[in-house]
Chain A
Amino acid sequence: MNSDTEKVLQEVSRNYENELIRKIQKYGDREAFFRLVKLYDARIYSVVYRYLGQREDALEITQDVFVQVFRKIKQYRWEAPFYFWIQRIAVNYSINRMKKYSKDVLSRTVEAGSPGAVEALVAGPEQGLEAEEQKKIVAEALAGISEPFRMPVILKDIEGFSYEQIAKLTGANIGTVKSRINRGREELKKIFTQLKERLTDYGM
């Protein structure tokens, strides 16, 4: 895509989004709301899913996040980009839900490094590994990172938010965020090392 098209598209989509937000704020317009949800559904769902490592719960929570968005949208003051605003609700909501139901959710997440994951890793992302399997490996690996290091790693290393943004999203200060990300990455590295070790155990 050339840069002109991109510029026009950006402008248009921002206008479109703003229009939708204004409609919902003023009239509680549901149709506009569902259009707005469509803009962000997959992105929010992805973050929640990677955090929980469990699709059903992630769907449920993503729905709840958007219900919150619908309820609170009048409080949106146009200060931060809207995506950031939604993401903050999603992050806080997931973390709170995780605290409440941690036992329930954790007991259902699959052990990172199960044979399925290992086999999938052998192929590697470049060698035509099915996207679906890659998603599973990543979700399982991330689920192996302990709390409260998991969410910051997801936000930093997958979503690409800056330290400052993550601090705002999670309500922690930058120092805490940095150290959490570092510790989370340490754990992630260990999980991947384990995956590799099991590979050799399986004689692959």
Chain B
Amino acid sequence: MECKEVRELFFEYREGALSALKKESVAKHLLACKDCAREYKTMSEALSYIKCVPDEQIPESFYRGLEKKIEQAETPFYARFAAYLTLQNTAMAVSGIFAGLVLGIYISNYVPGAPFSAGTHTLTGKQQLAENKSGTKSMENRTEPNKVIMYSGNISHAGYDLDEIVNRFEGSSTGVLNPETPAKNSINLSKKYVITVPAGKYEELIKELNKMGYLMKLPSKKEMAELKKLKPTDQVKLELEITQ
């Protein structure tokens, strides 16, 4: 094997991803060729050196900055423009809208065969929806009554805020389905988990979990005494209550 060829296989050789045959010939080459052996050693050292680098620690300032940024991100877009909402600007905007409205009504009266009242048309549910969401589409509907208009999913659903609907739905039903669901915005992360463990491992498990920073509701002394009576192989139902 040539040096160049061998060097191309270094990484796969290191990861053990080569076929037995190739692996053997690389190994042989590394024994015979000092240059390649040195290269391989450097590469291998470099990779294991970077692999074992410890993780960075987050400085305190991180969370202060993040909170500020989240605050900004949560500010609704109109609040950011609050500074521009002077009386003069508002008056100009209102008069602009009014002028547009007048012009619009004026023009629409001159479109032949297109009366502007929705009440004169019987629309299916879907079409009605579409009309609410998209004025231009419904205009087409009226000006060309013989043409079938296909409404794409996009248009008929454009106005939906799906998340809001889901929220409302779940919010109204939680009282019945899942009384334990915490009320909106209250943070209550305590949760119960029921886990079956052998009695012998019970104590050790609780200790280890506590070491990890989880706070467990420990069994009372009486329960502990009863636990001790059990055989280590008996199964114990363990109720973990995790609280912050």
List residues of A whose CB falls within 8 A of some B CB.
1-2, 4-5, 8-9, 11-12, 15-16, 19-20, 23, 25-35, 37, 41-43, 45-46, 49-50, 58-60, 62-64, 66-67, 70-71, 74, 125, 131, 134-135, 137-138, 141-142, 157-158, 181-182, 185, 188-189, 191-193, 196
Contact = CB atoms under 8 A, between A and B. Distances in A.
B13 to A, nearest CB: 12
B187 A189 contact: no
25 contacts: A5-B205, A8-B205, A9-B214, A12-B242, A15-B191, A16-B189, A23-B187, A27-B185, A28-B74, A34-B66, A34-B67, A42-B55, A46-B56, A66-B70, A67-B69, A134-B49, A135-B53, A135-B56, A138-B53, A181-B11, A188-B43, A189-B43, A191-B46, A192-B43, A196-B42
B39 A189 contact: yes
Contacts of B46: 141, 185, 188-189, 191-192
B212 interface: yes
A12 B193 contact: yes
B-side interface size class: 35 or more
B50 A141 contact: yes
B220 to A, nearest CB: 21
B167 A26 contact: yes
Interface stretch (B57-65, B141-149, B225-233): B57-65
Interface of B: 11, 39, 42-43, 45-47, 49-59, 61-63, 65-67, 69-70, 73-74, 163, 167, 170, 184-185, 187, 189, 191, 193, 195, 197, 201, 204-205, 208-209, 212, 214, 240, 242, 244
A134 B205 contact: no
B54 A135 contact: yes
A2 B204 contact: yes
Given A12-B214, A59-B61, A20 B54 contact: no
B66 A66 contact: yes
B197 A185 contact: no
Contacts of A196: 42
A4 B47 contact: no
B49 A62 contact: no
Interface centre among A25, A59, A64 (most CB of B within 10 A): A59
Interface centre among A34, A60, A182, A189 (most CB of B within 10 A): A189
Contacts of B205: 4-5, 8
- Chain B facing A: main interface SS: helix
B191 A19 contact: yes
A192 B45 contact: yes
Given A27-B184, A59-B65, A70-B73, A12 B42 contact: no
A62 B69 CA distance: 11
Contact of A41 (B62, B70, B242): B62
Contacts of A2: 201, 204, 208
Nearest to B207: A5
Interface centre among B62, B67, B167 (most CB of A within 10 A): B62
A123 to B, nearest CB: 12
Given A1-B208, A8-B209, A25-B163, 8 more contacts: A2-B201, A41-B58, A42-B55, A46-B56, A59-B65, A138-B49, A158-B53, A185-B43
Contacts of A46: 55-56
Contacts of B240: 8, 12
Considering the complex of A and B, which 7 residue pairs feature the smallest CB-CB distances, nearest first?
Answer: A192-B46, A5-B208, A138-B53, A46-B56, A189-B43, A41-B58, A46-B55
Contact of A49 (B56, B67, B163, B167): B56
A63 B62 contact: yes
Contacts of A185: 11, 43, 46-47
Given A5-B209, A196-B42, A16 B70 contact: no
A42 B66 contact: no
